[in-house]
Each structure stands twice: as structure tokens, then as C-alpha cells.
Amino acid sequence: MLKGLWRWLKRYFQRLFGNKQTPPLEKLRKVEPTKQLTDAEYESLFLKLLAEVNDGLSIGGAKSFLAANRINEAHLVEWLRGFGERLLALPTPNDELATRMVRLGELSIGEVSVVAYDFGKRLEGEETKRRVAENAEGGEEKEAEIWFNQGVEQHEVGDFAGAIASYDSALKFKPDYHQAWNNRGNTLDKLGRFEEAIASYDRAIEIKPD
């Protein structure tokens, strides 16, 4: 009798629990979808990523950063192209930002690195051109001032021919140097070259009417 009861209980429990199976692991794991972020959110995360890369973030660390923030790389790349074009359109390129973008490119973590490297190099090029232009402009201004001051000294000691030559050199570097045109007129007047003096005065007045 006890054996029969045991067999019945065994069949009962098999019917009760036997058909229930443990769900696959992938069904238990909740998959988080990638996020579609706003431009401001992309910019904030991208600048944070650049800061960490600048501090020595590794390739694995950069990939983990993107994964942890559930960033869709295609969406990030699309945003980055627009961000890069906006940076290039700014009148004063950011040299530090360009350097960090190049460093991200050198990590080679995918298309985002390729695009970041491209815009970083283009921004560095714009910054270089701006500095060259500033240096060139500053150099010409300085050269013009040196020649002008030499002309003043030569005029004061009576070296009028030398003074005129110095003023002419100053005007080669800075054609709108009205003080040089005016002083050139004064020196020509000392030499009795009145028509040339008047022409120099006229040029000075044309540049500086007041």
C-alpha cells in the first residue's frame, strides 16, 4: 500500500513540476536598447570622452564608455560630422579640442575615431594658418616700425636721403603707414623737393583725413 501511495505521489509531482523548464539565459537577461540622444547630450558625452582620452583612457576603456552609455555609434558619427563642421566655421579654432580629437582618432575604436581624427587634423590646420597669418601681420608691423624709427633718427641728424630711404622701406611693409608718408613729406621738403613732398602729404591725408 505504501509503495502504491509513493508511486502516486511521484507521478503527481512529476505532472506538477516536470513540464516547467528554466528559461534560457538570454530571456532572463534584459537587453537595454541604445539611446537616441539630443545634440546637447551627445556633445556633453563626447567632451567627457575626449577628456578621459586625454587623461590616458585605453582602447578598451573608450569602447566600454560607449557601451556603458548605450551610445549608437552610427548616431554618434552622424552628430560628430555636424559638430565638426560647426567647429570649422568658428572664427577662433580650439587648438586643445583639436588635439584631443586627434588622440581619440589614434585609438582606432571605429568610425567615430576616423571622423574625430579627420576633423581634429582639419582644426589643427586652421589654427596653424591663423597663427601664421597673425605672425606674418605682426612681423610686417614690426619691420615697418623699425624702418620708421630709423628714418626719424636719420632726419634728426640731417641724413635726409637716408631718412627717405628708411621711410620708403617702412612703406613697403605697411603701405597705409600715414606717419611714414607724413614724415617722408617733411624730409622731402627739407631737400626742396616740394612736389614730391606734397604728394606724400596728400597720401597721408588720404589714409588719415583727420
pLDDT digits (tens, 9 = 90+) for 132-158: 666 665 677 888 888 999 989 888 888
| Stated pTM of the model | 0.51
pLDDT at 173: 87
DSSP string, 71-129: B-HHHHHHHHHHHHHHHHHSSS--HHHHHHHHHHHHH--SHHHHHHHHHHHHHHHHHHH
Question: What is the C-alpha separation between 78 and 83, in angstroms, rounded?
Answer: 9
Q: How confident is the model at residue 101 (pLDDT cuts 50, 70, 90)?
A: very high
Question: What is the C-alpha separation between 164 and 185, in angstroms, rounded?
Answer: 9
Share of the chain above pLDDT 70, in %: 80
Q: Which residue has the higher pLDDT, 175 or 124?
A: 175
Q: Write out the three cell numbers for 77.
A: 558619427
Q: What is the CA radius of gyration of the chain?
A: 38
Of the candidate ranges 93-102, 126-135, 185-194, the one whose mean pLDDT is the lowest: 126-135
Question: Is the predicted pLDDT of residue 129 greater than 50, yes or no?
Answer: yes
Question: Is the predicted pLDDT of residue 28 greater than 60, yes or no?
Answer: no
CATH of 139-207, one of 3.40.50.720, 1.10.620.20, 1.25.40.10, 2.40.40.20: 1.25.40.10
Q: Where are the domains of the chain?
A: 34-134, 139-207
Overall size of the chain counted in residues: 210
pLDDT at 177: 93
